[in-house]
Amino acid sequence: MPESLFQVKRLSELAQSGQLKGKRVLIRADLNVPQDEAGNITEDTRIRASMPAVQMCLDAGAAVMVTSHLGRPTEGQFKSEDSLAPVADRIANLLHRKVPLISNWVDGGFEVNPGEIVLLENCRLNVGEKKNNDELAKKIAALCDVYVNDAFGTAHRAEATTHGVAKFAPVACAGPLMAAELDALSRALASPKRPLVAIVAGSKVSSKLTILKALSEKVDELIVGGGIANTFMLAKGLPIGKSLAEPDLVNEAREIMDLMEKRGAHVPIPEDVVVANELSPLARANRVASDQVAEDDMILDIGPKTAARLSTMLAHAGTIVWNGPLGVFEIDQFGGGTKMLAAAIAHSPAFSIAGGGDTLAAIAKYGIENQVDYISTGGGAFLEFLEGKTLPAFAVLAERAKG
Active site residue 339: no
* 96 annotated ligand binder: no
Q: 121: annotated binding-site residue?
A: no
Q: Which of 211, 213, 323, 224 is nearest to 273 (CA)?
A: 224
Residue 130 CB neighbour total at 10 angstroms: 16
CA–CA dist 401, 335 (Å, integer): 45
* Residue 183 is assigned to a ligand binding site: no
Per annotation, catalytic residue among 213, 380, 388, 389: 380
Residue 187 labeled ligand binder: no
User: Is 358 within any annotated ligand binding site?
Assistant: yes
Q: What is the three-class DSSP state of 215? A: helix
Q: Are 293 and 299 in contact (CB under 8 A)?
A: yes
What are the residues facing 126 on neighbouring strands?
none
Task: State the catalytic residue, choosing from 18, 22, 108, 357.
Answer: 357
Of the residues 130, 138, 187, 204, only one is catalytic, namely 204
Q: Is the bond preceding residue 192 a cis peptide, omega within 30 degrees?
A: no
Q: Is there a catalytic annotation at residue 380?
A: yes
> Exactly one of 9, 23, 28, 46 is catalytic; which is it?
46
Per the annotation, the verdict on 46 as an active-site residue is yes
296 marked as binding residue: no
CA angle 24, 29, 30 (to 5 degrees): 165
DSSP state of 188: I
Is 291 annotated as ligand-binding? no
Active site residue 61: no
Q: Please indicate if the annotation marks 356 as binding a ligand.
A: yes
Is 69 flagged in the annotation as binding?
Answer: yes
The answer to whether 32 is a known ligand-binding residue is: yes
CB 32 within 8 A of CB 71: yes
| 28 has binding-site annotation | no
Crossing angle of helices 226-235 and 250-262, in 10° steps, is 80
* 258 known ligand binder: no
Residue 330 assigned to a binding site: yes
Q: Is 365 annotated as a binding residue?
A: no
Nearest in space to 117 (alpha carbons), one of 103, 102, 139: 102
| DSSP 8-class letter at 325 | -
Beta-carbon neighbour count of residue 76 at 10 Å? 10
46 is in an annotated binding site: yes
- Using CA atoms, how far residue 129 sits from 136, 161, 360, 397, in Å, is 7, 7, 30, 18
The binding site for (2R)-3-phosphoglycerate comprises: 46, 124, 157
Which residues does the annotation mark as catalytic? 46, 204, 357, 380
Annotated binding site for substrate: 30-32, 46, 69-72, 124, 157
- Residues in the annotated binding site for ATP: 208, 330, 356-359
Annotated binding site: 30-32, 46, 69-72, 124, 157, 208, 330, 356-359
